Amino acid sequence: MSGPKRRRKRNYGTIYTLPLVVWFTLFFLVPLLIIVLFSFLAADIDGGVLPRFSIAAFTGLAKPRILKLFVNTIWVSLASTAITILMALPCAYFMARSKNKTMLLILVIIPFWTNFIIRIFAWKSILEANGVINSVLMGIGLVASPLQLEHNWAAVILINVYTYLTYAILPLFSTIEKFDFTLLEAAQDLGATKMQAITKVLLPNVRSGIVTAVFFTFIPLLGSFVVQQLIGTKDMYMLGNEINDNIYKYFDWPTAYALAVALMMLANVGLVFVMMSERKQARTLGARRVDEAAA
């Protein structure tokens, strides 16, 4: 029985990716697990947790005050996200069609070379009473006394948009760049207006980019606290601030972790919802094609 020896090709894929798997498990999964684990433990009075199971952190969240914080946080994050996406879309489109893509990309990324807090303070010096805008307006005699430009929701949303614009532009740019622009011409040849070509041909085709951009903006915004702390007022207190105060002021780590878990769940519900609607759309699209083929 001497058959030709079969040389089995071994698949080394698993071994090659092992370092990455270990890396992600250690630095991504473990912290996540710690967050979930700590949220189910009892608080130690000086911060930290006691090794005792407790759901006090979660039952403590069932309060009208916390519900209000959730509502507040969601609407500010949604408003900021909507404006960010509306601004990022034309930017990304322009960048994708430009001849100087690399240069434009660098320009978009440049603000990120500066510390986040410094950038907020830069905005402060634009908006404050003797800031850039008020100085100009008063200099040309348009207003007599400085306008109150900071310490309101508009200022908070403005800086949120400024902060997350790059996070939205980048995924949009990378999907729009792959889009076949001749399709727009084809649509117009077939009688679509310029606007219709964009809304009915371009936007559905870059949907995945939009979804990514929404998540890159909306999810971090849910937990943000610095902008409203530095630019806002006493009424602009959101979930991020509550988490921060639970760690630094109340020494109640489990509640902080429970809030983080609640936020994660919220973000995940959104993610699942979007994924399901995407699958549904793909299915109807597929069905329509079958129908058309049959006809």
Interface with other proteins (CB under 8 A), residue from 242, 256, 260, 263: 242
Which among 13-21, 107-115, 187-195, 239-247 is the span making contact with other proteins, rule CB under 8 A?
A: 239-247
**Which 88-147 positions form the footprint of other proteins (CB under 8 A)?**
124, 128-130
Which string of b and e fits 38-59 if b means at least 16 CB within 10 Å? bbbbebeeeeebeeeeeeebbe
Query: What are the residues whose beta carbons fall under 8 Å from the beta carbon of 270, sequence distance 6 or more?
Result: 215, 218
Interface with other proteins (CB under 8 A), residue from 247, 262, 267, 274: 247
Q: For residue 268, state whether it binds other proteins (rule: CB under 8 A).
A: no
Task: Select 48 or 90, whichever has its Cβ closest to other proteins.
Answer: 48
Tokens linked to 267: 């973000």
- 3-state SS assignment for residue 234: coil
Q: For residue 250, state whether it binds other proteins (rule: CB under 8 A).
A: yes
Q: For residue 18, state whether it binds other proteins (rule: CB under 8 A).
A: no
C-alpha–C-alpha distance, residues 85 and 88, integer Å: 5
Q: For residue 249, state whether it binds other proteins (rule: CB under 8 A).
A: yes
Size of the site for other proteins (CB under 8 A): 30
Structural contact between residues 267 and 217, judged by C-beta atoms closer than 8 angstroms: no
Interface with other proteins (CB under 8 A), residue from 126, 138, 184, 245: 245
Task: Select 55 or 272, whichever has its Cβ closest to other proteins.
Answer: 55
Interface with other proteins (CB under 8 A), residue from 230, 262, 267, 274: 230
Q: For residue 21, state whether it binds other proteins (rule: CB under 8 A).
A: no
Tokens linked to 166: 């790059």
In whole angstroms, how far apart are CA 180 and each of 32, 200, 205, 206?
40, 14, 10, 11
Cα angle 50, 52, 56; round to 5: 95
Give the count of beta carbons closer than 10 Å to the beta carbon of residue 83.
17
C-alpha–C-alpha distance, residues 197 and 161, integer Å: 27
Task: Select 148 or 196, whichever has its Cβ closest to other proteins.
Answer: 148
Task: Select 150 or 217, whichever has its Cβ closest to other proteins.
Answer: 150
SS (H, E, C) 57-97: HHHCCCCHHHHHHHHHHHHHHHHHHHHHHHHHHHHHHHHHH
Minimum CB distance to other proteins, residue 157 (Å) = 17
Task: Select 5 or 234, whichever has its Cβ closest to other proteins.
Answer: 234
Instruction: List, in sequence order, every beta strand (DSSP E) within the chain.
Output: 41-43, 49-53
**Which 26-85 positions form the footprint of other proteins (CB under 8 A)?**
26, 30, 45-48, 65, 68-69
Task: Select 157 or 252, whichever has its Cβ closest to other proteins.
Answer: 252
- Interface residues with other proteins (CB under 8 A) are 26, 30, 45-48, 65, 68-69, 124, 128-130, 151, 229-230, 232-235, 237, 241-242, 245, 247-252
